[in-house]
Chains A and B, each alone.
Chain A
Amino acid sequence: MNVLTNKKVIISLLIVLGIVFPFIIPNLYYLHIMTLAFIWTIAVYGLNLLAGYTGYLSLAHGGFFAIGAYVIGILTVKLEMGFWLSFLLAPLVTMFIGLIIGLFALRTKEHFFAIYTLCVGYIIYLVIDKWEGLTGGVRGLIGIPLPEAIGPITFQSPTAQYYLAFFIFLLVVAVIYRIVHSLTGRTFIAIRNSEDLALSLGISTKRNKLLAFVLSTFFAGLAGAMYAGFIRFIGPEIAYTTITFDLLTYMIVGGIGTFAGPIVGTFLIVIISQNLQFLQDYRMLIFGPLLTLLIIFSPRGIVGFIQMQLYQRKRKKQESLAYKNREEETNAGG
């Protein structure tokens, strides 16, 4: 009970913090960083759904992120469509491409799946980089428009964009929460724990794996579209493996397969990276070994570590309580 109220208090505090952040720190640069952190977190949630809950490590996630960004870029810049319609279409198109790739990729397992998706990611990068007519090649796409005003709400100022990202972020977290705690979410976990067992329980692993894959590409595409709308310039480097590995690092540090992991990992690393500006190019000198050490000593990241500590403390308390009770019983009996 105590933990539950604690959780509620923490969540409300965090939401309030998110709302008042632009007022406490009216620094445009920090606002920019925070907005980006929301966008990355959404992509990490997508990855976590597949790798963390279903147990399939996809290394094409950066590629799907880029597809989302490029769909909105091409629709608005080349076809001059409206922002919101393109914004709606971007994750859907990404999802559709994800569905087709997933149909084939999910025939493979474990190492083969990781290598397969790594190659898919690379093909996406090469196509974006070389297909000048569609994607602008190495020059990328410039001049993605701002979101159009909805009624009285305009998205000109960085603060408005921050709130837009924050709003979508909250929406995504709520949706992910629903998915993870639904029967579907438990099915994913069952597949991760043992695919054979899940299959023998009558779970259609094929369909559920595909669902997890498609959902994960949806969130990657959504994050990509938000990124393109926010930065308003995209180049082929957003499809490169560095993005995939960044997202992977956020997920592992926060805690793979945990609900709060993506938020904790992303914000922690984004904030640390900002404070270690001088390290920008060399940040992997720290995060690379961190990734390896975490996976050896705390495979479920920071959140997993905390959960373990809490659990052990609770168990100890229960044990000592049970011990005390027994002692009292024997005393009373004697």
Chain B
Amino acid sequence: MELLMQQLFNGLTIGSVYALVALGLTLVYGILHIPNFAHGALYMVGGYITLIMMTEAGLHYILAMVVSICVVGLLSVLMERLVFYPLRHSPPIQDKVAAIGILLFLEALAQFIWGADYRQMSTPFGQVVEVFGLTLTLQRILIVFAAIAVMILLYWFLKKTFTGRTIIAMAQNREGAQLVGINTHKVAILTFFIAGALAAIGASLTSPINLVFPGMGHLVILKAFVIIIIGGMGSIPGAILGGYILGFTESLGATYLSADYKDIIAFVLLILILSIKPQGIFSKGGV
């Protein structure tokens, strides 16, 4: 029972991070219909910026995270302006290739600047606490609460503010949004910024319990794709739900099935889903 509870909590932690990354991916997909393969690289850069700010500039963990959010957000905007914007009328295969080009570049750049070693990130929240008989580190609790807070904030922003609603409007109907006077370029920039920021938050939160290295984004981005396909490409509640489903499945699978093959679970899940329903589970029909 205790093992189960522990694993459920682990699932909650991993799921929170997955949900954050998947949210960024799904937002960008909803607006521009680009599967942004470079999103994993943004996640990786986010981890590194936080780490470097802490070790080189001596900033506090939280402050370093804020810097990371800004840097990765701007990087993401830069990507939209320089690459995806000029490609907006091209066939879909070209967006994908361009995104892969950015991904390869950012990974090589990270390796060039910071080296290929696996690095550990320290955290001021390393204490171990006991809650209801479970031993948890404060960092894991922080991950769960911070992620949930970010999600609530995002939800509030998208539903209750005017700027946020323009994003939803554009995702629902691009031409319609333009007709009522929404500046779609601005919305695209804003969306890319938010996506980058979410990736940076996810990476900074999880780095102290994992490691920072140039390839850290690979698995996460693949799983984020799995999540948004499960949850419906472009759907925000779907990304959150999908993130937690995958988090729980993985942590339980690692304990009760096989730790070696736990990374496969997500992909097998996706292959099964797409084999049965090629458009994803919650798709709104052909778009």
Contact = CB atoms under 8 A, between A and B. Distances in A.
Interface of A: 51, 55, 57, 104, 107-112, 114-116, 118-120, 122-123, 126-127, 130, 241, 245, 248-249, 252, 256, 281-285, 287-292, 295-296, 299
Contact of A119 (B90, B92, B106, B270): B270
Nearest to A137: B260
B271 A111 contact: no
Given A107-B275, A112-B280, 16 more contacts: A55-B91, A109-B278, A112-B229, A112-B278, A114-B96, A115-B229, A115-B270, A252-B97, A281-B116, A283-B108, A284-B105, A284-B108, A285-B108, A288-B104, A289-B105, A296-B87
A281 B114 CA distance: 13
Nearest to B258: A130
Interface stretch (B8-16, B143-151, B194-202, B261-269): B261-269
B104 A291 contact: yes
B35 interface: yes
B271 to A, nearest CB: 6
A112 B232 CA distance: 11
B225 A118 contact: yes
B98 A291 contact: yes
Interface string B80-124: 000100110011111011101111111111011000100000000
A126 B218 CA distance: 13
A115 B278 CA distance: 12
Name the residue among A115, A122, A245, A248 with the largest chain B CB count within 10 angstroms: A115
B279 interface: yes
B226 interface: yes
Contacts of B98: 291-292, 295-296
B112 A282 contact: yes
Contacts of B94: 295, 299
Given A120-B271, A122-B267, A51 B93 contact: yes
Contacts of A118: 222, 225
**8 nearest A-B residue pairs (beta carbon):** A288-B105, A291-B101, A292-B101, A284-B108, A288-B104, A107-B278, A119-B267, A284-B104
B271 A107 contact: no
A104 B35 CA distance: 21
Given A116-B270, A281-B116, A284-B108, A111 B96 contact: yes
Contacts of A51: 93
Contacts of B101: 288-292, 295
25 contacts: A55-B91, A57-B97, A108-B278, A112-B229, A112-B279, A114-B35, A115-B35, A119-B226, A122-B222, A123-B267, A123-B268, A241-B218, A248-B100, A249-B104, A281-B116, A282-B108, A285-B109, A288-B101, A288-B103, A288-B108, A291-B97, A291-B100, A292-B97, A292-B98, A295-B101
A110 B278 contact: no
Given A114-B35, A126-B261, A292-B101, A285 B112 contact: yes
A243 B225 CA distance: 21
A115 B225 contact: yes
A176 B190 CA distance: 46
B99 to A, nearest CB: 8
A288 B267 CA distance: 26
A116 B274 contact: yes
B35 A111 contact: yes
Contacts of A55: 91, 93
Nearest to B263: A126
A55 B87 CA distance: 17
A191 to B, nearest CB: 13
Interface string B224-267: 01100100010000000000000000000000000011011001
Nearest to A281: B111
A170 to B, nearest CB: 29
Nearest to A293: B101
A202 B229 CA distance: 32
Contact of B97 (A119, A287, A295): A295
B232 to A, nearest CB: 12
B197 to A, nearest CB: 23
A296 B260 contact: no
B219 to A, nearest CB: 8
A245 B283 CA distance: 29
A288 B222 contact: no
Contacts of B103: 288
Contacts of A116: 270-271, 274
Contacts of B280: 112
A108 B108 contact: no
Contact of B104 (A112, A115, A120, A287): A287
B274 A296 contact: no
